[in-house]
């Protein structure tokens, strides 16, 4: 089976969790699939970030004459030419790991992934044009894909409620999560960020409103008022940074909140390994990898139960019932501090298992 994989949309270091999932899957296909061949459709300006796969016996890069950085132009090119390129490369199945399946006129079956329907839940955060584009993309993807993968049962039920006709071809495959030891020393992050091992909270999140960071900032302000000296380290990209910075100033907590921006996997893992608690205040996710990554490293996690989060964390964290209640966050954080650290396996998110599920789905559309 010759599998084409659309990676034109990847803007390295910008696409967040969707990029991490795609790269984890690539690593899995390279390591665990000795039968099929993968053709990676990449852009001129992101090709170098995928060069290592040229050393894999079952993979090759197809560099397309388009730039991932120019999003409108890339979308137009994808819709006009990607299917033609797939035909030219004799692809058997096209795998689209994001919501926007391009126009296709060939008989090649497509397997597409929809991560969430955020714009339908929070339309106020999107422009009218963006909402129209997303709704059109989701509907077209559901109508024309041979299979539609959702990354949680919550997302699948949400999708089928909005587009009932997709029910028979929608399937849940959880995200693969790769957990590695950072290899970094605590002293490195202590020096870089001015924190002490075991004396800071960690959060991985964008600054979008549904991530509910304002509540955690209020928690930090309350702790500071109590004379506490713990700091919050926040890693992530995207969102409303100006509003976030204004909130830091208004709450007078700029000295207790450290924003790292984008970090490498190694640095992120080191920050996981040395934090006191991992905090995840988000009220909407399609999956939500960071709390699972933290628990796999034995960290105590305090988070919400919203959307899919109880499902994917399997009740193994410490949860707040009221996501915007600062006092409850303080109580649950104090409770978590008293618990022992314990590594959680989450075997269903192991890369070989998830890769096997994707291979099975892609093979099934050819039968």
- pTM of the entire predicted model: 0.90
pLDDT band at 162 (very low <50, low <70, confident <90, very high): very high
Domains 2-176+350-364 and 186-345 alike in fold? yes
Q: Is 126 exposed, middle or buried (0-12, 13-18, 19+ CB in 10 A)?
A: middle
Domain chopping of the chain, boundaries: 2-176+350-364, 186-345
Q: Which tokens is 207 given?
A: 């600054």
pLDDT greater than 90 at residue 72: yes
The predicted pLDDT at position 183 comes to 75
The predicted pLDDT at position 179 comes to 87
pLDDT digit string, tens, across residues 236-268: 877 778 889 999 999 999 999 999 988 888 899
Q: Please provide the CATH number assigned to the domain covering 2-176+350-364.
A: 3.40.50.2000
3 state DSSP class of 180: coil
The CA distance from 142 to 101, in Å, is: 9
Architecture of domain 186-345: 3-Layer(aba) Sandwich (3.40)
Reference 304, options 363, 181, 233, 216; nearest CA is 216
Mean of the per-residue pLDDT values of the chain: 94
The predicted pLDDT at position 15 comes to 67
The predicted pLDDT at position 100 comes to 82
pLDDT greater than 80 at residue 13: no
pLDDT band at 190 (very low <50, low <70, confident <90, very high): very high
The predicted pLDDT at position 37 comes to 98
Q: What is the mean pLDDT of residues 126-151?
A: 94
Contact 105, 83 (CB under 8 A): yes
Q: What is the mean pLDDT of residues 293-305?
A: 97
């Amino acid at each position: 089976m010759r599998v084409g994989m659309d990676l034109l949309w990847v803007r390295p270091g910008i696409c967040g969790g969707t990029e991490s999932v795609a790269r984890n899957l690539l690593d899995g296909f390279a390591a665990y699939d000795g039968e099929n061949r993968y053709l990676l459709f990449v852009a001129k300006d992101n090709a170098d970030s995928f060069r290592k796969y040229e050393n894999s016996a079952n993979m090759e890069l197809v560099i397309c004459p388009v730039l991932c950085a120019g999003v409108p132009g890339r979308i137009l090119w994808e819709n006009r030419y990607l299917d033609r390129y797939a035909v030219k490369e004799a692809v058997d199945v096209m795998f689209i790991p994001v919501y926007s399946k391009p126009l296709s006129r060939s008989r090649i079956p497509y397997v597409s992934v929809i991560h969430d329907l955020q714009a339908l839940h929070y339309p106020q955060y999107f422009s009218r044009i963006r909402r129209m584009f997303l709704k059109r993309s989701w509907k077209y993807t559901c109508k024309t894909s041979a299979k539609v993968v959702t990354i949680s049962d919550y997302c699948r039920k949400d999708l089928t409620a909005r587009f009932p006709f997709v029910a028979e071809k929608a399937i849940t495959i959880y995200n693969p999560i790769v957990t590695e030891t950072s290899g970094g020393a605590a002293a490195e992050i202590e020096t870089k960020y001015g924190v002490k091992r075991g004396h800071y909270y960690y959060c991985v999140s964008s600054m979008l409103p549904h991530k509910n960071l304002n509540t955690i900032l209020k928690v930090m302000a309350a702790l500071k008022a109590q004379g506490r000296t713990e700091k919050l380290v926040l890693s992530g990209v995207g969102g409303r940074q100006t509003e976030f910075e204004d909130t830091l100033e208004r709450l007078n907590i700029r000295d207790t909140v450290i924003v790292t921006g984008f970090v490498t996997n190694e640095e992120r893992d080191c920050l996981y390994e040395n934090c006191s608690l991992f905090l995840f205040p988000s009220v909407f996710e399609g999956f939500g990898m960071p709390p699972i990554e933290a628990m796999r490293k034995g960290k105590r996690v305090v988070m919400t139960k919203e959307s899919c989060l109880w499902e994917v964390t399997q009740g193994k964290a410490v949860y707040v019932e009221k996501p915007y209640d600062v006092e409850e966050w303080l109580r649950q954080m104090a409770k978590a501090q008293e618990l022992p650290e314990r590594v959680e396996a989450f075997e269903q998110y192991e890369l070989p298992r998830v890769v096997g599920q994707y291979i099975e789905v892609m093979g099934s559309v050819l039968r």
